[in-house]
Amino acid sequence: MAKTNFKLAKSSYPSAKDVYQAKLSNGITVLARSNFNSPSVSMGGYLPAGAIFESDEKLGLADFVSSALMRGTQTKTFDQIYNELESVGASMGFDSGVNNTNFGGRALVEDLPLLLKLFSESLQTPTFPSDEVERLRAQALTGLALRAQDTSEMADIEFEKILYQDHPYSRPSDGYVETIQSITRDDMTEFHRLHFGPRGLVIAIVGAIQPKRAVEEVEKFFGAWQVAGQKEAQALPSTKQIKKTIKTHHVIAEKSQSDLVMGTFAPTRKSDDYMAASLGNSVLGQFGMMGRIGNVVREKSGLAYYAYSSLNSGIGPGSWEVNAGVNPANLNKAIDLIEKELKKFVKQGVTKNELADSQANYIGRLPLSLESNGGVVSAILNIHRYDLGMDYYQRYESLVRNVTRDDVVDVARKYIDPDRLVISTAGP
């Protein structure tokens, strides 16, 4: 019996030929692609209203505002919004990051107008009801109390505080207890007035709808939105060079586990170094049983409950880091082993087989990520957000295959200096 090949043809990947892009007169960008194999539509997007706009005294404000957008509008209560969604089996939600407020939703194609109507009202006319604000505040404070006892979270917070010293990325986007307690409903209303508007808003729609009709539907609900004085984000400042290894330990008493984060800066998502760094990171601490880091620290030495590396690249300066959870008695041994593995990685790079395996993995998993409408929405939003070019997925296989062992070792040496790391630990 012949095998069926389910691999998506490259021609089916999103491209300039089938992703329709339009800019409304008020500055909103709409990206739309049809897929009539499903009766549903997925929607996603973002607008520049993230934590970079917060003051130190009001950290967590952007996250607070995004959490409250669906808690009541000028025409609907919290319950009415959710009842309307549930009645048609639709979903929608918001969350906030450092640079943007993000949103997403899903519905049957005939319910897209309802979904867009609820999105537009939540974005344009939230009322931040006092009782809902206090419920959200209580939830946020509970989350911060849990965070304070989480060794992984606290190690990460201290790591970013040192790595991104005097940079907006050094601050936790969910704030601190005192900043969340200080946020008023007036603060939320003012933040919304200044930062929520059509300029910089990007909406992507993928599903059983003609692209031009999708744009018309967005125009119907968002086309009249105007915000005088919508603030623009300032350019991100440069980061400070790490001159020597810096160690910090955050004490959380009576914990049976310590967590550690060790690392340095990484290329931005748009950087020419990104693909080589990403493939190198896959070998270092992702592929298989968490790569070399997982193999040496966890499998062979039994020093960690988990150990892996990650490359976090976005609009601004990224981080290249190793994370591990260990018995407190093994903390220093684990750090020493990771440092040795980083030195080996920087000196020798990756083997021919390691690189080939990671390249095959990257190419093989791409079609899986594009099988759903939601996956395609994420893909075309990333293309737009990081200015990768609408032919990015047509070029993707060659971008991956063209990375050489020399490229990986060069980028490793460019970004990772084992003698200049931030090492953050948290535990007893």
pLDDT of the residue at 5: 41
Residue 238 in this model has a pLDDT that exceeds 60: yes
d(CA 169, CA 422): 15
pLDDT of the residue at 300: 85
Looking at the chain, the whole-number percentage of residues with pLDDT higher than 70 is 97
Q: What is the 3-state secondary structure (H, E, C) of 184-215?
A: CHHHHHHHHHHHCCCCCCEEEEEECCCHHHHH
Give, as one character, the DSSP assignment of residue 230.
P
pLDDT confidence band for 4 (50 / 70 / 90): very low
d(CA 396, CA 349): 22
d(CA 79, CA 129): 13
Q: What phi and psi values does residue 402 have, to the nearest 5 degrees?
A: -80, -10
pLDDT of the residue at 297: 86
Tokens representing 86 are 């549930």
Instruction: Determine what percent of the chain falls in helix, strand and coil, rounding each to the nearest 5.
Output: 50, 20, 35
Burial 285-304 (b: 16+ CB within 10 A, else e): bbbeebbbbbbbbbeeeebb
Which residues share a beta bridge with 325?
Answer: 259, 306
pLDDT of the residue at 66: 97
Residue 311 in this model has a pLDDT that exceeds 80: yes
Mean pLDDT of 56-72: 96
Mean pLDDT of 254-269: 95
> Among 60-69, 98-107, 235-244, 347-356, where is mean pLDDT lowest?
235-244
Which residues share a beta bridge with 44?
Answer: 104, 204
Residue 419 in this model has a pLDDT that exceeds 90: yes
Strands (DSSP E) found in 97-190:
101-108
pLDDT of the residue at 236: 86
Number of Cβ within a 10 Å radius of residue 130: 10
Encode pLDDT of 85-130 as tens digits: 999 999 999 999 999 999 999 999 999 999 999 999 999 999 999 9
pLDDT of the residue at 235: 84
Q: Write the CA distances from 404 to 178, 220, 277, 353, 410, integer angstroms.
A: 50, 49, 11, 12, 10
Residue-range domains of the chain with CATH: 17-222 (3.30.830.10), 246-427 (3.30.830.10)
Given the DSSP bridges, would you call strands 29-34 and 20-23 parallel, antiparallel or unpaired?
A: antiparallel
Residue 295 in this model has a pLDDT that exceeds 90: no
State whether residue 95 is helix, strand or coil: strand
pLDDT of the residue at 237: 87
pTM: 0.91
d(CA 95, CA 7): 33
Number of Cβ within a 10 Å radius of residue 210: 12
Encode pLDDT of 335-382 as tens digits: 999 999 999 999 999 999 999 999 999 999 999 999 999 999 999 999
Which residues share a beta bridge with 31?
Answer: 21, 204
The candidate with the shortest Cα–Cα distance to 293, out of 322, 330, 328, is: 322
d(CA 137, CA 175): 12
pLDDT of the residue at 8: 52
